[in-house]
Amino acid sequence: HFARYAPEKIPYAIERYVRETGRLYGVLDRRLAESRFVGGLEYSIADMACYPWIVPYRDQQQDLEAFTHLKRWFTEIAARPAVVRAYEVGARIRSDNTLDEEARRHLFGQDRRP
């Protein structure tokens, strides 16, 4: 968020969350060293939930080469026919990735009040 969407680029915030993302990649990497999939021996909702968070690893300033087991898992999930189809559909319906002020307000400006 801080590197890509924040209107003001705050180096501390960017570095803090790049490092936290790296830490979390390490947690997943250690888990995947023990098991083929996040939840165990079979593909599950845990893999479906985690995979999209890893897709933008470059934008998150992460290098998958540093996470051997995570890279193996990521490559395997990316090759699954349903995942390939889902991302093909997404690419067809996605417009550009720029956010206008209204989109920013909806994504980042909400709080508990209606």
**Comparison of pLDDT for 57 and 100, the residue scoring more:** 57
In tens, the pLDDT along 42-68 reads 999 999 999 999 999 999 999 999 999
Q: Where are the domains of the chain?
A: 11-80
Helix 68-78 × helix 81-93 angle, to 10°: 70
**CATH number belonging to domain 11-80:** 1.20.1050.10
Which long-range CB contacts under 8 A does 74-83 form with residues at least 24 apart? 77/43, 77/47, 77/51, 78/51, 80/43, 83/51
Nearest to 75 by CA among 85, 64, 62: 64
- Please name the residues in contact with 57: beta carbons below 8 A apart, sequence gap of 6 or more: 25, 63, 64, 74
Give 73's strand partners: none
pTM for this entry? 0.81
